Amino acid sequence: MSASLIGFATGLTLIVAIGAQNAFVLRQGIRREHVLPVVLVCSMADALLISAGVAGLGALMTANPVVTEVIRYGGAAFLIGYGLLAVRRALRPGTMVASDHVAGTLRAALLTCLGFTFLNPHVYLDTVVLLGSIANQYEGPWLFAAGAVAASFSWFFALGYGARRLSRFFARPRSWQILDGLIAVIMFTLAARLLIG
């Protein structure tokens, strides 16, 4: 099997796991809000982080624990804040049909997306450290990286645009209440894992 196919499979297994970023992309896709910019930011951020890992940033990060701790506590605070917003939405559910929904600003969506991407220590462990170190075990580490980047683009576009198929289901307030409740649980769980270490 070629390095690029192994990179694709490895990248996909790490990216598909449900987490804060995926939950946010899913929510944006269901709401049909700024889907293209959001999936592009997620995909390009992964491409940047994977490339940095192949170039050796992962080794530098593991050598400096202060950076990891700053990202850890900042990420936990961000996740708790977003979890509280999800709880508030779950307590006051409403229907969200694309035709009658007033979209949030692009700036707010992109800032939230960047927060989920760069304030999450797991993204550095998965993309920079893990994928970077695996890629460097191959004769063609950049082929491995290209496969992992292709997996990221494939996943985020499928998630963002595939979520639209769920919009009929999410025309009911109870569906949004369940989704926001699940998002809150995911956020608080991830934050607790970060704080516990």
Q: Determine which of 70-84, 97-111, 112-126, 136-150 has the lowest per-residue pLDDT on average.
A: 97-111
Phi-psi map region of 186: left, alpha, beta (phi>0 left; psi -120 to 50 alpha): alpha
Structure tokens at 115: 């927060």
User: Within 10 A of 191 (CB to CB), how many other CB atoms are there?
Assistant: 20
Domain chopping of the chain, boundaries: 3-196
Contacts for 52 with CB less than 8 Å, ≥ 6 apart: 58, 128, 132
Q: What value, to the nearest 5°, has the Cα angle with vertex 139 and ends 11 and 143?
A: 40
Burial class (CB in 10 A: 0-12, 13-18, 19+), 29: buried
pLDDT digits over 20-46, tens only?
A: 788 899 889 988 999 999 999 999 999
pLDDT digits over 170-196, tens only?
A: 777 888 788 788 888 887 887 887 788
